[in-house]
Amino acid sequence: MEQRTGGRPQRRRNVYHGTQAQRQDVRRVRTAPPPPQPGASRPRSGRADASYRRYATQKRRHRALRQLMFLVSGLLVVGACVLVVTQSKFFPIHGEEPEPVQPAAAMTDVTAEEAKSGFIVAVDPGHGGGDIGAEGVYFDEWEMTWKTAGYLMDLLEADDRFSPFLTTDGNEYEKASQRAANAVEGGAQLLISIHGNSGDDPSYTGFECYPVPPGRTYNAESLAFAQLIADGFGAANENLRGQNGVRYIYYDANNEKKIYEVSDTSVHTDPTFTLLEECGCPAVLAEQCFITSPQDVEAFGDDDGCHAAAQIYYDAICSWYETYGQPS
Ligand SMILES: [Zn+2]
């Protein structure tokens, strides 16, 4: 196209007019960046440069402030997490109680037993360890003897004067000689052996016991113990067999039982019960009741009966101890 060449020359346009308006905008909104102007060039005047530097400086400060706040927030979150993890060991979450502190040196049962230095009583449960003893009308002999021995142990252990122990743990069969050896090893100062009687006729009833016989060491002390026990059963209305429930027993050359009433003080060379022969202390073997008799079992064979029998044995031990067991 052909240009106009004639007439008034066209006025040259001021190229800074547009940017002046931008500068005014910047002054009105000091924090807002100038709207992007495609193709617009950066202000070139001194005032425009100063304004832009202030704006840029402010923007850098704000960016730095945001970064600082972000960093501080992050550090706070990390710190809180570390606190929860480390403190949870000492202040558990979910309301759990702290682990109890175990004493550095807890006293063991053995130590406690050794610390107790009472009069040593051996309690022999008669049977057990696979040896059932005699068959009873409701249960076998070993059940009654172990139950009674357990109750007697409870009574003796609760009494500071005594240090009782069982002649066998019942895990395996131990014959009488082994139980006697166990009693000696345990330092027994008095022994009670608990058994149940049996008979072909259920009408057989009553209590009897056997002390170390005449002519043996500990006969007098054993006899005194036996009489205290028999008196206790008599006082509980149990039938006392023989003269007063105390008898001596021997085994002859044919291993046949030979029984003598307590009034017969003659000395016999035949052996008595092995446990009485070899336990090395005053001792009594008790036939608590006839486990073949319903009447006897109700009196001294069932749970209440075993409890009652244990109490009689315990009372007899206490009485005997006051006469024979006190240190001289
Ligand atoms: Zn027996």
Q: What is the pLDDT of residue 58?
A: 72
Q: What is the pLDDT of residue 326?
A: 79
Q: What is the pLDDT of residue 65?
A: 67
Cα-to-chain-centroid distance, residue 116:
21
In eight-state DSSP terms, residue 301 is T
Residue pair 149/156 in contact (Cβ under 8 Å)? The answer is no
Contacts of 137 (CB under 8 A, 6+ apart): 202, 291, 292, 293, 294, 297
Give 328 Cα–ligand 1 centroid separation in angstroms.
Answer: 35
| Together in a domain, 187 and 77 | no
| Together in a domain, 152 and 266 | yes
Give 139 Cα–ligand 1 centroid separation in angstroms.
Answer: 13
Reported residue count of the chain is 328
| Together in a domain, 130 and 31 | no
Give 309 Cα–ligand 1 centroid separation in angstroms.
Answer: 16
CA angle 285, 289, 290 (to 5 degrees): 120
DSSP reduced 3-state for 223? helix
What confidence tens digit (pLDDT) does each residue in 152-167 have? 999 999 999 999 999 9
Question: Quick one: tokens of 209?
Answer: 């016991």
* CB atoms near residue 314 (< 10 Å): 23
Final residue in a domain of this structure, among 32, 64, 85: 85
Asked if residue 308 is part of any domain, the answer here is yes
| Together in a domain, 168 and 73 | no
Give 197 Cα–ligand 1 centroid separation in angstroms.
Answer: 7
| Together in a domain, 133 and 66 | no
| Together in a domain, 283 and 170 | yes
Q: What is the pLDDT of residue 17?
A: 45
Asked if residue 314 is part of any domain, the answer here is yes
- Tally of domains in the chain: 2
Give 177 Cα–ligand 1 centroid separation in angstroms.
Answer: 14
In eight-state DSSP terms, residue 131 is B
The CATH number that applies at residue 287 is 3.40.630.40
Question: Quick one: tokens of 211?
Answer: 């002390």
Query: Residue for token digits 């049962």?
Result: 109
Cα–Cα distance between 271 and 202 in angstroms, integer?
30
Give 230 Cα–ligand 1 centroid separation in angstroms.
Answer: 18
| Together in a domain, 217 and 310 | yes
Q: Which domain holds residue 271?
A: 118-325
pLDDT-flagged residues of the chain (< 50)? 1-18, 23, 26-45, 81-112, 114-115
C-alpha pair distances (Å), 295 with each of 73, 204, 290: 87, 9, 9
Asked if residue 276 is part of any domain, the answer here is yes
Asked if residue 226 is part of any domain, the answer here is yes
Give 131 Cα–ligand 1 centroid separation in angstroms.
Answer: 9
Give 275 Cα–ligand 1 centroid separation in angstroms.
Answer: 12
Q: What is the pLDDT of residue 11?
A: 46
Asked if residue 47 is part of any domain, the answer here is yes
Residue pair 242/262 in contact (Cβ under 8 Å)? The answer is yes
Give 120 Cα–ligand 1 centroid separation in angstroms.
Answer: 23
Contacts of 63 (CB under 8 A, 6+ apart): none
| Together in a domain, 168 and 35 | no
| Together in a domain, 295 and 239 | yes
Give 133 Cα–ligand 1 centroid separation in angstroms.
Answer: 5
Give 143 Cα–ligand 1 centroid separation in angstroms.
Answer: 11
| Together in a domain, 123 and 77 | no
Q: What is the pLDDT of residue 53?
A: 66
Give 323 Cα–ligand 1 centroid separation in angstroms.
Answer: 29
Cα–Cα distance between 177 and 279 in angstroms, integer?
8
Asked if residue 1 is part of any domain, the answer here is no
Asked if residue 291 is part of any domain, the answer here is yes
What does the DSSP assignment read for 191-255?
Answer: EEEEEEE--SSTT---BEEEEPPTTSTTHHHHHHHHHHHHHHHHHTTPPBPTTTSBEEEEE-TTS
Give 144 Cα–ligand 1 centroid separation in angstroms.
Answer: 10
Neighbours of ion ligand 1 (CB under 5 A): 126, 133, 195
Give 159 Cα–ligand 1 centroid separation in angstroms.
Answer: 27
| Together in a domain, 160 and 301 | yes
Cα–Cα distance between 292 and 137 in angstroms, integer?
5
Asked if residue 144 is part of any domain, the answer here is yes
Query: Residue for token digits 């007899």?
Result: 316
Give 52 Cα–ligand 1 centroid separation in angstroms.
Answer: 115
Give 141 Cα–ligand 1 centroid separation in angstroms.
Answer: 7
Give 196 Cα–ligand 1 centroid separation in angstroms.
Answer: 5
Q: Indicate the pTM of the whole model.
A: 0.66
Give 142 Cα–ligand 1 centroid separation in angstroms.
Answer: 8
Give 306 Cα–ligand 1 centroid separation in angstroms.
Answer: 15
Give 61 Cα–ligand 1 centroid separation in angstroms.
Answer: 102
DSSP reduced 3-state for 214? coil
| Together in a domain, 150 and 284 | yes
Residue pair 183/125 in contact (Cβ under 8 Å)? The answer is no
Give 175 Cα–ligand 1 centroid separation in angstroms.
Answer: 12
